[in-house]
Chains A and B, each alone.
Chain A
Amino acid sequence: MIVFLIYAAIFVISFFVVKYVVQKATNDFTSLKTVTFGDESAVKPNRVASVISVLTIFLLWGAFTGSKLVPSFVHAPGPFVGDATFTYTAEADGVEADDATVTVRVFQVGTDVEAPAVEPGEGWAKNDADTVGAWRSGLIRVDKNDEKSRGEGHKVVAVNGEPIAPGGSVQTEFGRIGMSPKGSLNFEPNKGWQMEPIWLPPPEAVLKRMGEIASEGYRDSTLWEHLGYSLFRVVIGFFFGALVGIPLGYAMGLSNWFRGWFDPIVEFMRPVPPLALIPLVIIWAGIGETGKIILLFLAALWIMAIAARAGVSGVAISKVHAAYSLGASKFQIMRHVIVPNSLPEIFTGARVAMGVCWGTVVAAELVAAEKGAGMMIMVASKFQLTDIVIMGIILIGIIGFGIDILMRLAEKALVPWKGRI
């Protein structure tokens, strides 16, 4: 909630700062339009906003994980680390109530720690010392060193002067002290606003892990092997899907019989998410490469078939007529009119298919694989290696985006007339 409010605040503040301070003097055609609200063509992505948006995400990530990459004054309050003290009041049979102080050393998990040395103090209740990890909690047996044991009626009745009963708790400046139903004290130091690395590691930890996996590998394969395997499966699966799907789509666009025969199959398979086929493919082909490639083939096949069919249907009849009256044969019309005319649709389909294939391969690897980006993050999550999971997600996103950019560049180079007819 806090994070969201900060995010919204940055959004609003940067909007006004950029609008009134940075970008005062733009002087292009659009700025002369008086009606911009409702004019879609006047809406262009503000690149400053894009940059700030990305930076904000990293800033918030850094601030709430205590990253060293962002200056410490923007850090959100971290968990309490250091020596916490509180006093407790105990009663026992035959003696008066007595106070004692507990000193708890709260330490970063993963570092060595020793309980602080304390004087036993006066009275029958002795001062205690213990350790608890930051973001954790620990039982503190205050009666352990006292002169009266639980058998003699030892029980804690107050903490820092506030009365406490089994099941209840007292908030101190260092954290919350709760009492178990049996009467033991449980200290939970303040967690602050930062995320524990096990939930969200700071950016530099993710970077460091990436370097490690890139050079040393994870699960017997380097990072590049994992990503390469995923990409390889996508490319091969997509290739075969297009190889079969495009001619199938053409046949459906050109022949009644093909259209009638394959329509029910294509229309049925199209809404089936490829992910739903994973179990069947695993049963039939196992978890090896064959199964993955069959799955991606199926994911790409229907999309490409439908795109090719739409491409054929989309050819203006006057172009076909013109070609016929210029003396072209059926084969020449196919080669010089129908195929080039369908390329824009096929490219649109290919972009969608590549996106779907990339999503499907990661999901398939999450389920079962020996190598691959999805397998890497799945296994890492089982060992709570959140940094690998986050690194994997970021890389999967970057590669998916990269694939789309490449497809768009190819489209621009190969079908420059798209959208200009």
Chain B
Amino acid sequence: MSGLKIENLSMRFDLPNGTSVQALKDVSLNIAEGEIMSVLGPSGCGKTTLLNIVAGFLAPTEGGIFMNGHQVTGPNAERGMVFQQGALFEWMDVRSNVSFGPRMAGKREAEWGEHVDHLLDVVGLRDFKEKAVYELSGGMQQRVALARCLANDPDVILMDEPLGALDALTREKMQSLVLKLWKETGKTIILITHSVEEALLLGERLLVMAPRPGRIHKEYNLPFADLGVNADLREVKKHPEFAERREEILGMIWDMEEEIMGRAEESA
């Protein structure tokens, strides 16, 4: 097992008006198996593009993604994805949503039933198995999306601002759940977020990206994810290094945003 390897990744979008946008430039990264990494950056830094390339929804203009030794050319069940808005299937009940992956792989209920029910227990939706997904709250929908992803047993889980649309309280509970699931399953997780706190809490490794062209600006190795597995997240936030790192990263992102604004004013 060699984890995920991102090599010299560049992505250029050609616009219809003849210009082009360098969304990513020379991004190289190794992600070890079982690592949880959060990606942070101002809007336009290419973090969602990066995730879409890793998922296989986009082909990079240069470089490549290698997973377990072979190159990624399209989406498959090795890399599961959790979206900001759940992307659940409204025409299926909760259990059918969660068991979607195994069912599509042609497995019988005997093979996946127990695992799916266990996951529903873990995410606290045991009593909502038969419910239609549109009857659930946003937080519950997101838990269904997590369980659906895990039920398929992917090697890597990609999360695109999975908690972005939730209210603050639900969000905190979900952050704990993500850590718990990470520890329990040992999956490799890449998580994109807008929230500095969330990135600090959930990232064993934290990647700050800078825009124009999208590139890796700074990398951190952090202790908070490991601490958070067993402790209350609010306790983790009281850690002296937490506040320090938060201020540092916030300042970094502020500077980037100001630079973007300055450039926009110049060109205007």
Contact = CB atoms under 8 A, between A and B. Distances in A.
Interface string A321-345: 1111111110010001100110100
A323 B100 contact: yes
Contact of B90 (A323, A325, A417): A417
B85 interface: yes
B149 to A, nearest CB: 8
Contacts of B55: 321, 325
Contacts of B75: 321, 324-325
B61 interface: no
Interface residues of B, number: 30
Nearest to A321: B57
A319 B87 contact: yes
B81 A322 contact: yes
B104 A327 contact: yes
A420 interface: yes
A27 interface: no
A116 B183 CA distance: 111
Nearest to A416: B132
A329 B76 CA distance: 9
A50 interface: no
A318 B75 CA distance: 12
A421 B75 CA distance: 25
Contacts of B112: none
A326 B152 contact: yes
A69 interface: no
B66 interface: no
A343 B134 CA distance: 16
Contacts of A343: 91
Contacts of A324: 56-57, 74-76
Interface in A287-310: none
A13 interface: no
A420 B133 CA distance: 10
Interface in A324-380: 324-329, 332, 336-337, 340-341, 343
A327 B88 CA distance: 15
A333 B85 CA distance: 19
B47 interface: no
Contact of A316 (B79, B87, B149, B158): B87
B83 A417 contact: no
Interface string A396-421: 00000000000000000001110011
A318 B79 contact: no
B132 A321 contact: no
A152 to B, nearest CB: 97
A177 B76 CA distance: 94
Contacts of B100: 323, 326, 328, 336
Contact of A326 (B56, B84, B104, B158): B104
B77 A341 contact: no
A318 B152 CA distance: 17
Contacts of B104: 323, 326-329, 332, 336
B228 interface: no
Contacts of B84: 318
A341 B81 contact: no
B81 A321 contact: yes
A327 B91 contact: no
Interface in B114-140: 132, 134
A340 B89 contact: yes
B80 interface: yes
Contact of A417 (B79, B101, B132, B152): B132
Given A325-B79, A326-B148, A327-B152, A318 B101 contact: no
A321 B88 CA distance: 11
A322 B57 CA distance: 10
Nearest to A328: B104
A337 B104 CA distance: 12
A327 B101 CA distance: 6
Contacts of A421: 90, 134
12 contacts: A319-B89, A321-B83, A321-B87, A324-B56, A325-B75, A325-B79, A325-B154, A326-B101, A327-B76, A327-B77, A336-B100, A420-B134
Interface of A: 316, 318-319, 321-329, 332, 336-337, 340-341, 343, 415-417, 420-421
Given A326-B148, A343-B91, A420-B90, 11 more contacts: A321-B55, A321-B83, A322-B83, A325-B158, A327-B152, A328-B104, A329-B104, A415-B91, A417-B91, A420-B134, A421-B90
